Amino acid sequence: MKTKEFVYKLKNAIFNEDTYKKAGYSDNYIKKLKKYYSFEEKTGIYKKNNDPILELLENYIVTGVNFCFTSFYEQYEVKGQYIYFGSLDADILAINTENEEIVLIDSQSNEDYVMLSCAVSSPHFLGALAEAASFNVKKAMDERLEDTEIVLEKAKEISAIAGGIKYLQFSKLLFGI
């Protein structure tokens, strides 16, 4: 998934204010929730980058965006073979520059200890994250989707988007299972 497609999908297609209003949520709650899904474009010249995650950080205000236990850093940081760009819960999301894989690094480790692999590449990561966000919004509207078996099935679908079964544990983390 490309950067602009990801931003559009989150801001417009996934988070729909009318859906929340029809479900009876207050305007204040909807306004607060919308901030978690909305990237605002930075002023200035749009900077193209071959990596969609880095392009996202270079061109959008990402502070305050937080969904599926995931948040993005305001700026990325290069540390050895990794580019740190965000967090999943309390741990560090990074791009492995040797193979472009997205990994989760233990924030408590003095070394770059990779806890698990998240996606085969940045486009796959953004696609998986967008799909998980979309499902979480649907779950908020339909209690039946909270069923563990349904969530596990969705996690399997998301692992396929991320690049295969190798990424199932990451997909499960996006739903807190």
Task: Please state the domain extents for the chain.
Answer: 3-173
Q: Is the pTM of this model over 0.75?
A: yes
- Beta pairing partners, 105: 92, 114
Residue pLDDT, tens place only, 118-134:
999 999 999 999 999 88
Residue 19 has a pLDDT of 77
Q: What is the DSSP string of 93-135?
A: EEEETTT--EEEE-TT-SS--EEEEEESSHHHHHHHHHHHHHH
Which residues, given as ranges, of the chain have pLDDT below 50? none
Residue 119 has a pLDDT of 98
Residue 14 has a pLDDT of 66
Cβ neighbours of residue 7 closer than 8 Å, sequence gap 6 or more: 39, 41, 56, 60
Q: With contact defined as beta carbons under 8 Å apart, do 121 and 163 qualify?
A: yes
The Cα–Cα gap between 100 and 15 comes to 29
Residue 13 has a pLDDT of 64
Q: With contact defined as beta carbons under 8 Å apart, do 74 and 62 qualify?
A: yes
